[in-house]
Structures are given as C-alpha cells and as structure tokens.
Structure 1
Amino acid sequence: MKTDFDYNSMPVSFAHCLNGHCLRADKCLRRQVSLRMPKERATVMVINPEHIASDGGDCTYFIDEKPVLFARGMKHLLDQVPLADATVIKRQMMAYFGKTIYYRCCNKERLIKPKEQEYIQGLFRRRGITEMPQFDEYVEYYDLG
C-alpha cells in the first residue's frame, strides 16, 4: 500500500474486509483500507465475513493493494495522428466509452483505466500507427474494478 495513502480518496461505497485471518489479507486493498479507517468515520460498507472463504484463495472481492498507472486526460491524444485515422479512432473511442464518459476522460474528470488504455493502444495499432498513445498525464491509483 502506498505510504501516502489517503483514506478519503476511497469511494464511500467501497466495501471493507474485516477478515484478518485471510491468507491474502496483507495484500488485499479491502483489508488494508479497513485497518486505516479513521475514527471519525461512523459507518462503512463491509463484506459479510461468513460469505467468503477464510483462506482467501478464490475470494471474488480481493483487490491487489498495489496501485497501477491510470491515465488522465486525452486532449492531445490525436494531435500527431493523420486526420483520417484520428476521425476513425475518435469515433471508435466514443462508441466504446459512450459520449459522456469519453468527454469526461478527455477533460481529466475521469481516470482512464489500464484496460481502457490497452483498448486505445489497440485502436492505434489497427490503424497502423506505431507510436504509443500519449495521454495528458499519468497517476498511480488503485484498480477498484
């Protein structure tokens, strides 16, 4: 877990795990977040301990505590791409994300997940563009699914 972890950066609806006996507890974001709960937080969402296996082997709620690289902003993503290719790629991104989310991603209002970055890279490759897409900036955050 990041040393500068900010509990308040987690969504209010994020489910916490109180299972300290799980074999994967030390690597699970849900468990690590529950250990850093501030006393000012009166209520939290919790995964029912009876619902999950204590060994953590096949826990569907497990989230790796290591942050991953998210992209933020796509204002200049297509600047160096030929117009015909840029038009097709933009249309495909809008179909993939939906118009609202596409523009939120462009305007840095929503992070672009690693899987979404891979999808965009695939669009570039299919158009024969060898340069990797360059997003406005990159930030480390937890992949919440």
Structure 2
Amino acid sequence: MNTNFITILLPESFEHCYVGQCSKKESCLHYLKGQETKPSDVPFIGYHPNKLNVGANCQEYVENRLIPHYMGFMKGAGQIPAKLVATFNRRCMQDLGMQKTRFYQLRKGEIPLTPYESEQIASLFAEMGVNPEEAFDEVVMRYDI
C-alpha cells in the first residue's frame, strides 16, 4: 500500500516502529508509518529497533486494513414512520448506553459510528421497517485504530 495514503489517514501522533526483524512488519501500520521518516527526524516517541515482543507477541500491532465507518443516519431517520421516531431515538440511546448529545452528534454525522454502533443502529432500522443499507448518510473507509 502507498505510504502516502497511510500518512493521510493516520493521525500525526500515531507511533512509528523501526523493528526491522519483526515478522509482521509488512502488514503493521506502525512499521509502515515508520518507513516514511528516519528515527532521528521523529519529534515524538516511536518503537525502538531493539524492542522486545515482536511478531506474534507484539502488543502494539495494528493491521494495515481499512474498514467502513458510517457517518450519520439522517437519511434513515427520515424514513421512520412519525409515530415510531421517539421510540427509535430512545432505543438507540438505551441500547447503546449513550447520552442525548452523543446520539445527536452520531445522527447528524458529526462523529463516525463505531462498527458496533452501526450494527446496532442498522438492526433498529430493520425493526422499524427501514432498509439498513439505505439508512446511513455516508461511508468512510478508515483504519480501525
């Protein structure tokens, strides 16, 4: 994968790794990010080349895999029958254990839904008679970090 693409999608504070002997280095985001800069040019802490617990034992391993993150569900909320809107809102907040503020931020697409939240909300849409595939406003591909 193009490392320039990785740079764009990862936060600046994402740790770099310089462990060349690691068996998982080709699929680890920390290592791929570390290949973009020399250790001497890094302004923050990275993983030292002599780090213990590499490969299968590495606690910091993050797979180089993009997953879909759903943004907003105003489109689906507009398809819910008016008499069920209050029930849908209440169930979302109760089932996901969230405050009103977070619920409305998620609904408007101000913050992305976690994979778990999107699954739960999709199942609620299905219960309300809305096709879950048409309920979310936008899908953004991101790393699961």
Identify the TM-score tier after normalising by the shorter chain. Answer: 0.7 to 0.9
Q: Residues of 1 paired with 2:32 and 2:119: CA distance?
A: 28
The TM-score with structure 1 as length reference comes to 0.75
The TM-score with structure 2 as length reference comes to 0.75
Which residue of 2 is the match for residue 93 of structure 1? 92
Q: Residues of 1 paired with 2:138 and 2:3: CA distance?
A: 21
- Matched residue of 1:76: which SS? helix
Which residue of 1 is the match for residue 56 of structure 2? 57
Aligned-residue CA RMSD (Å): 2.9
Larger Rg: 2
Q: Relative to structure 1, is the Cα distance of residues 79 and 107 closer, same or farther in structure 2, using a 3 angstrom cutoff? A: closer
Matched, 1:67 2:66: yes
Q: Residues of 2 paired with 1:85 and 1:47: CA distance?
A: 51
Aligned residues: percent identity?
Answer: 26
Question: How far does residue 116 in structure 1 lie from its aligned partner after superposition?
Answer: 2.0
Question: How far does residue 83 in structure 1 lie from its aligned partner after superposition?
Answer: 3.2
Q: Relative to structure 1, is the Cα distance of residues 129 and 38 closer, same or farther in structure 2, using a 3 angstrom cutoff? A: farther
Letter in 1 for 2:75: H
Which residue of 2 is the match for residue 82 of structure 1? 81
More helix by share: 2
Q: Deviations over 1:70-96 (max 9, x none)?
A: 111222222222234432222232342
Moved more, 5-14 or 23-32: 5-14
Contact 2:80/2:130 (8 A) holds in 1: no
Matched residue pairs, number?
141
Contact 1:2/1:67 (8 A) holds in 2: no
